[in-house]
């Protein structure tokens, strides 16, 4: 049996996405991001931004420009999504009509900001699907949801449970601002963002909701765009202490530090390879390695380590490559 069949026992495996989600608002920055993605490969996603990227009065033109870039040959890997205006905005429906209607086959996902409830997301998904179906898309268009309001946080679990939602992102600046001074501005950045109780609670609840439903929790931006050490520290803490598996970038220099922080180390890959190889040889029964017990619970963990390493573009040992590249059975 394929490892995924044995280890997950017919359940859907947790979703995995590239560890970095890079936001770009202007055409100039979008083109630079696309060039970098062509250079590095689909190791990171790009999100074109309508909400904060479009200047007042030029919203339709901005959306049309995004459609042109999505359909361009430069979108080589089809790993570009779009953050549209919020559902209460007069531009929301127009964004979907133009962008989903004009580039449904090339879109990686749609990002919904300022969400207040699961019902709101469900209504938005219905509208997205109408435009996608009309444009000839045969597979559901993935949806990412920004958790940055009190209502969004309160219903994070219900939002993550929606089948078409694949990622929740924490919007720290709007979340802190929504407390109208009760949370200090210092909590928008390190170290406050990792220590203030209300922000810590919000991050943990959102991440837990994602993991409960096999979805991807994405950490907020680092606003210090000049110091790569700050970005690396934020990414490491987000991964190690809060369970995030993805993080926003707002400057090209942030992409590589984020990818490095979320990519398994070679020592972890080697350990996972050895344990899974022995486990497979034991027909996925319990084994003892270096005096430690391993069974299907730990095998699932190490299987995910190899999947994340593959997604990050690491050169896997031959034994690891044989495990993860073994084609899965058709479902």
What is the arithmetic mean of pLDDT over 95-113?
Answer: 97
Q: What is the CA radius of gyration of the chain?
A: 20
Sign of CA dihedral 76, 79, 85, 88: positive
Q: What is the pLDDT of residues 196-224, one digit of tens each?
A: 999 999 999 999 999 999 999 999 999 98
Check whether 330 has a pLDDT greater than 60: no
Rounded Cα gap, residues 248 and 268, in angstroms: 24
Check whether 192 has a pLDDT greater than 90: yes
Q: Which long-range contacts (CB under 8 A, 24 or more apart) does 181-190 make?
A: 188/223, 189/222, 189/223, 189/224, 190/222, 190/230, 190/233, 190/234, 190/237
Rounded Cα gap, residues 232 and 236, in angstroms: 6
pLDDT at res. 225: 85
Q: What is the pLDDT of residues 72-100, one digit of tens each?
A: 999 999 999 999 999 999 999 999 999 99
Q: What is the pLDDT of residues 229-278, one digit of tens each?
A: 999 999 999 999 999 999 999 999 999 999 999 999 999 999 999 999 99
Comparing C-alpha atoms, which of 246, 247, 240, 155 is closest to residue 206? 155
First CA to last CA across the chain, in angstroms?
Answer: 13
Q: What is the pLDDT of residues 115-155, one digit of tens each?
A: 999 999 999 999 999 999 999 999 999 999 999 999 999 99
Percentage of residues of the chain with pLDDT beyond 70 = 98
pLDDT at res. 329: 55
Mean of the per-residue pLDDT values of the chain: 94
Percentage of residues of the chain with pLDDT beyond 90 = 87
Considering the entire predicted model, what is its pTM? 0.94
């Amino acid at each position: 049996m394929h490892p995924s069949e044995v280890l997950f026992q017919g359940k859907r495996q947790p979703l995995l996405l590239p560890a970095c989600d890079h936001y770009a608002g202007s055409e100039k920055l979008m083109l630079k991001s696309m060039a970098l993605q062509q250079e590095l490969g689909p190791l990171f996603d790009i999100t074109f931004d309508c909400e904060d990227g479009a200047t007042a009065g030029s919203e339709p033109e901005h959306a049309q420009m995004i459609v042109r870039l999505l359909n361009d040959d430069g979108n080589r890997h089809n790993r570009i999504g779009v953050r549209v205006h919020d559902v209460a905005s007069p531009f929301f429906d127009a964004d979907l009509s133009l962008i989903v209607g004009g580039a449904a086959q090339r879109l990686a996902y749609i990002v919904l900001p300022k969400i207040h409830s699961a019902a709101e997301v469900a209504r938005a998904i219905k509208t997205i699907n109408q435009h996608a179906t009309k444009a000839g898309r045969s597979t559901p268009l993935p949806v990412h949801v920004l958790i940055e309001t009190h209502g969004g946080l309160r219903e994070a679990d219900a939002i993550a449970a929606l089948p078409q939602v694949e990622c929740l992102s924490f919007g720290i600046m709007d979340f802190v601002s929504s407390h109208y001074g009760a949370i200090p501005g210092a909590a928008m950045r390190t170290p406050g963002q990792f220590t203030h109780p209300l922000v810590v609670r919000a991050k943990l609840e959102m991440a837990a909701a994602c993991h409960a439903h096999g979805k991807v929790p994405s950490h907020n931006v680092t606003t210090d765009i000049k110091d790569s050490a700050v970005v690396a520290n934020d990414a490491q803490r987000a991964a190690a202490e809060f369970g995030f598996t993805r993080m926003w970038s707002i400057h090209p220099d942030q992409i590589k530090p984020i990818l490095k922080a979320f990519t398994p180390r070679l020592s972890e890959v080697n350990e996972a390879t050895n344990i899974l190889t022995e486990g497979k040889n034991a027909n996925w029964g319990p084994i003892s390695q270096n005096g430690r017990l391993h069974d299907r619970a730990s095998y699932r963990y190490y299987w995910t380590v190899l999947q994340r390493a593959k997604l990050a573009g690491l050169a896997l040992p031959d034994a690891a490559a044989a495990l993860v590249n073994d084609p899965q059975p058709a479902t």
